[in-house]
Amino acid sequence: MPPSEANWKPYRDLLRKFGPLEQDDVFRVLGAIQDAYGCIPREILQDVSERLHRPLAELYGAVTAYPGFRLAEPEADR
């Protein structure tokens, strides 16, 4: 998914709702992204990693460990 402006919007919106991100928001943010997009887009995970100063690999490893997170959009939404 190329990171178009439209694609960033839901993320920006949810960030606004969160206010200033704290370390203990990380899992909540991942959940909110999954709920907003139906998946966790790569560029957005990258952004979370930068915002929270967390290694991207670590977040990726975490996300892939749950059946409830997806990396690619579900087929139906394509």
Partner 1 sequence: MKGTFTLSIDGRQVHAEEGQTVLEAALAAGIDIPRLCWDPRLTPTAQCRLCLVRLEGQPGLVTSCTEKAQPGMVVVTEDDEIREVRKTILELMLSEHRLSCQTCDMDGECKLQDYAYLYGADERAFGLREFDTDPPNYTARDEAIRYDSSLCSQCERCVRVCSEVQGLDILTLMGLGSAAPQVSTAFEMPLQETDCEVCGNCIGACPTGALYERGSRGMGQLKNLEKVVTTCPYCGVGCQIALYVNRDLGRIVRVGSEIGLVPNDGSLCVKGRFGYDFIHSEDRLTHPLVKRNGRFEEATWEEALDLVAGKLGDIKSEHGPDAVAGLSSAKCTNEENYLFQKFMRAAVGTNNVDHCARLCHASTVAGLARAFGSGAMTNSIEELPRADVIFVIGSNTTECHPVLGAMIRRAAQDGRAHLIVADPRKIELTRYAQIHLQQASGSDVALVNAMMKVMLEEDLWDHRFVEERCENFEAFREEVLRTDLEEAAHVTGVPLSDIRRAARLYAGAERAAIIYSMGITQHTTGTDNVLTLANLAMLTGNVGRESTGVNPLRGQNNVQGACDVGALPDVYPGYQKVDDPDLRRKFEEAWGVTLPVEPGLTVVEMMNAAADGDIKGLYVMGENPMLSDPDIGHVKEGLERLDFLCVQDIFLSETAELADVVLPATCFAEKDGTFTSTERRIQRVRRAVAPPGEARPDWEILCDLASRMGYPMHYEHPSDVMDEIASVTPIYGGVHYERLEGTGLQWPSPTADHPGTPYLHKGRFARGKGRFHPVPYRPPAEVPDDEFPVVLTTGRKQEHWHTGTMSRRSRVLDWLLPHGELEMSPALADRYDVGDGETIRVISRRGSVEVTARVVDKPRPDSVFMAFHFREAPANVLTNPALDPIAKIPELKVCAVRLEKVAGEAEGEQEQ
Partner 2 sequence: MSAVETKIVTRRVGVVPPFDLEAYRADSGCRALEKALSMTPAAVTEEVKRSGLVGRGGAGFPTGLKWELTAREEAESKYLICNADEGELGTHKDQLLLEGDPWRVLEGMTIAARAVGAGKGIIYFNEHFRSIAEQWEEMIRAAEQASLLGDDILGSGFGFRVKVCLGRGLYIAGEEMALIASIEGRRPTSRDKPPFPTQHGLFGLPTCVNNVETLANVPDIVERGADWFRSIGLEDDLGTRVITLSGDVKEERVREVAVGSSTLAEAIETFAGGTRSGRPVKAVQPGGGTSAFLAADALDTPIAQQAIARAGSSLGTAGIIVYEEGHSIVDAAVSCMEYYGRESCGRCAPCRIGTVRMLEILKQVQAGQARPGSLDQLRRIGYACAVSSTCGMGQAFPEPVLSALKLFPEEFESQLVAAPNATR
Q: What is the contact surface with partner 1 in residues (CB under 8 A)? A: 42, 45, 55-61, 64-67, 71
> Judged by CB under 8 A, does residue 37 bind partner 2?
no
Q: Which of 1, 13, 56, 61 binds partner 2 (CB under 8 A)?
A: 61
How far apart (Å, rounded) are the C-alpha atoms in residues 42 and 2? 9
Q: Between 65 and 76, whose beta carbon lies closer to partner 2?
A: 65
Among partner 1, partner 2, none, the one that 56 touches (CB under a kind-dependent 5 to 8 A) is partner 1
User: Is residue 5 exposed (0-12), middle (13-18) or buried (19+ Cβ within 10 Å)?
Assistant: exposed
Q: Mapping DSSP to helix (H, G, I), strand (E, B) and coil, where does residue 6 land?
A: helix
